[in-house]
Structure 1
């Protein structure tokens, strides 16, 4: 057959085939996945049979995820917040005297999972840390006193001294608004905390943290009049679900928390000097725990796993030391703003 005859044969064959042009993404009547009536009109799609579907490895054990998860969790564990050993303003106001003493005594933590929810909050803080300084008026200011917004401002709120030395208690204010003489603290929280904050206001721990930040600013002769705590919805779709709290600055709750921490250090030092660290640790185990939620409860050696704190090995605490416990108030009973 000549080349011309072959071309004519191909053209003749194509005239007997469906040459209808369909828009991209549309099925034709010749598609095996469509149903047609006796007039060859498309009336629906054929239900796929199991053998028609592509096979996927949905039931396989993940091969890449374990390494990726480990990398993320290692990063979280290495965050400054996770590595922090000395107490900060956010911890001094706790209602859990037991956990406060365990931290002050330097107790080791049991294995803890990577703090995923706090890491979400830390990530939000990092965004705000960049946002607000960019809103300041530009220009040279060698004193810094004309700058309105300052994020992660470091302050020293007090000092603790004990048998093995002492250290300053410092922290970082999420946002300091110098023009309004106010601090702002971001709390990225779930639904239950938002509901509680709306009904009851911030917890004692959050209020005392705000008070201590004001003390830190006052120590630097920075103006401070207002304290603000903003509960931002971790699970919400907008900031319309945020719960806000603003109040005049009151230094009394912060001073109470500093005095309580120092008293606790003094008690532990006296007990250790008199009867040794074993009795001190046993005394700490007797201290009251929080009646509400405490993030740190369950992470200490006396919570049940290490042999050194089992009941059979626990030192006996003399009654004279037990009589000190009621002097350590879990709750701040003074006036609150």
Structure 2
């Protein structure tokens, strides 16, 4: 008797998933995920948060402070942020289960980094984890392999460092006594080999970043880029900016009032 052979339904070939019904379903799922993620509360946040204050790109901060219209970007890929949100939720549940009465751990604690002239100008956020026993503010980051190795070699970079210390400032404002900040880099790949960067809580780092933010706000008031679009060029980009993820990036833009082409530093 001949050995029976296995065939996909309809004798489909190994590449058929890229065409036909499979491709249409993949596109439908992709679009559903993108639309849902880009309209989630975190994605439509208007107030500037601790994760953005240290953005090395002055122009992006100016756009944010003015609540400038983002470049239409329903196709911005949110998959990395979705994974990050899922990990944050899992880690929150882990520590809430270990300490349901919040005697040691404060999980996703809402803090005010700085009060503004109006409530809309407040800088607030949620600290991922605070350990009261050690006075440590933790922040989870989910990252790819190459980025993880870069952080192991060079540390977290100014934006993450500033964010951690801003949350430390927020915890101090809440009456806690932060002593250290820790950024926990969790790998996106399948092997759990995290890297943890730890430093003393440095309120001076947080205050310097807030002073820079105020200077950008003052420059906006002086130059009024809304009325004088040419003034946008006075707000520089940065070689360290993450342009790929920027909601104001328009790669072919020649008019900064409609979008930024990204860092042009030689």
Select which of 20, 26, 40 maps to 1:65.
26
In 1, Cα distance between the equivalents of 2:213 and 2:247? 20
Q: What pairs with 1:200-211 in structure 2 (closer than 5 Å)? A: 200-211=154-165
Change (3 A) 1:49 1:218: closer
Aligned position for 1:277? 226
Structure 2 residue matching 1:170: 3-state secondary structure: strand
Q: Secondary structure at the match of 2:20?
A: coil
Q: Does 1:96 pair with 2:45?
A: no
| Deviations 1:83-121 (CA, angstroms, capped at 9, x unpaired) | 111110111112111111111121111122141111111
Tell whether 2:3 aligns with 1:33. Answer: yes
Kindly provide the CA deviation profile for residues 123-167 of structure 1, in whole angstroms up to 9, marking residues without a partner as x: 1001111110110166xxxxx6xx1112110001014459xx951
99-108 vs 282-291, which moves further: 282-291
Q: Which residue of 1 aligns with 2:202?
A: 250
Select 1:122's aligned residue among 85, 88, 112: 85
Query: d(CA) in 2 for partners of 1:156 and 1:267?
Result: 25
8 Å Cα contact 2:232/2:257 also seen in 1: no
2:151 corresponds, among 162, 176, 197, to 197
Q: Distance in 1 between matches of 2:178 and 2:234?
A: 39
**Which residue, out of 139, 152, 155, partners 2:111?**
155
Q: Of 106, 109, 115, which residue of structure 1 is paired with 2:67?
A: 106
C-alpha change, 1:155 and 1:278, in structure 2 (3 Å) is: same
Question: Residue 99 of structure 1 contacts residue 296 of structure 1 at CA under 8 Å; is this kept in 2?
Answer: no
CA distance 1:166–1:54, shift in 2 (3 Å): closer
Equivalent pair of 1:161/1:262 in contact (CA under 8 Å): no
1:262 maps to 214
Report the 3-state secondary structure (helix = DSSP H, G, I; strand = E; otherwise coil) of the residue aligned with 2:84. helix
Q: Between the two structures, name the one with larger relative contact order (CA 8 Å, sep ≥ 6).
A: 2
CA-based RMSD? 2.9
Give distance in 1, aligned partners of 2:81 and 2:161: 19
Give the number of aligned pairs.
251
Any conservation in 2 of the 1:160–1:168 contact (CA below 8 Å)? Answer: yes
Question: Is the contact between residue 55 and residue 241 of structure 2 (CA under 8 Å) also seen in structure 1?
Answer: no
Query: How far apart, CA to CA, are the structure 1 residues paired with 2:164 and 2:172?
Result: 13
Counterpart-to-counterpart distance in 2, 1:49 and 1:233: 38
Larger C-alpha radius of gyration, 1 or 2? 1
- CA separation of 1:33/1:195 partners in 2, compared to 1, >3 Å: closer, same or farther? same
Q: Report if the CA contact (8 A) 2:142-2:187 is conserved.
A: yes
Kindly indicate whether the alpha-carbon contact (under 8 Å) linking 1:125 and 1:186 is maintained by their aligned counterparts in 2. Answer: yes
Supply the distance in 2 between the matched residues of 1:302 and 1:116 (Cα, whole angstroms): 20
Normalising to structure 2: TM-score of the pair? 0.84
Aligned twin of 2:262: none
Q: TM-score, normalised by structure 1?
A: 0.67
CA distance in 2 between counterparts of 1:219 and 1:265 reads 23
> Partner of 2:163: helix, strand, or coil?
helix
Residue in 2 that maps onto 1:134: 97
Aligned to 2:261: none
In the superposition, relative to structure 1, how do residues 295 and 49 fare at CA in structure 2: closer, same or farther (>3 Å)?
closer
Alignment of 1:224-239 (within 5 A): 224-238=178-192
